Amino acid sequence: MKPIKNWDSVQAVEDWKKLPNGGYVCRIFGAKERTVSNGSAMLEVSVDISEGEFKDYYATDYRNQNNENKKWRGILRLFVPTDDGSEKDDLTKKIFKGFTNAVEDSNPGYHWDWNENGLKGKAVGMITRNEEWEWNGKSGMSVRPFKAVSVDDIRSGNYTLPKDKYLNGSAPATSAPLNDGFAVIEGGDDLPF
């Protein structure tokens, strides 16, 4: 084989554990309101896991990204209520209120005052969900922040995991994998190595 340039300076891939779907005690690193493509306002809340085996998961993930377009993947996205009286806005209000209640319940003495900058540093419980993705002809499932609950609910296991979210709305039809694409070789004596 031909030697690779600068081989001694190449860093090996670390053993990386995929975040299991579950409930996690988190810390809020920041929150910002932004307008999405359809004109709706959304609050993006950046979190990282602050306790347990997966502590600092999103920070480690961010540092290990080797591309120039690094992305923080620990973001809970909430539509901001428009107060227009619609049925959709009523649901948006209930979801947003669930978030603010979770932050208040997790931080004694804190009261939501409509200042998103005041969320920084606050504790919150986070339930994740498996979500299907597709990009450049590839697809898969990712675990993403889904819903905020109190830290006490996470610690006591008082939460239910949501159903997986698929791009087309339902789970794709599956067929049994055929040995992960490898041929079955009968008898170990004929192996070439």
**24 domain-assigned:** yes
The residues near 111 (Cβ < 8 Å, ≥ 6 apart) are 104
**187 domain-assigned:** no
* Chain centre to alpha carbon of residue 169: 19
Percentage of the chain exceeding pLDDT 70: 85
Helix (H, G, I), strand (E, B) or coil at 140: strand
The number of domains in the chain is: 1
Q: Are 34 and 44 in contact (CB under 8 A)?
A: yes
User: 50 lies in which domain range?
Assistant: 17-126+146-157
pLDDT tens per residue across span 127-143: 999 999 888 888 888 89
Kindly report the pTM of this predicted structure. 0.78
**109 domain-assigned:** yes
**191 domain-assigned:** no
**131 domain-assigned:** no
Give pLDDT, residue 125: 98
pLDDT tens per residue across span 23-54: 999 999 999 999 988 888 999 999 999 999 99
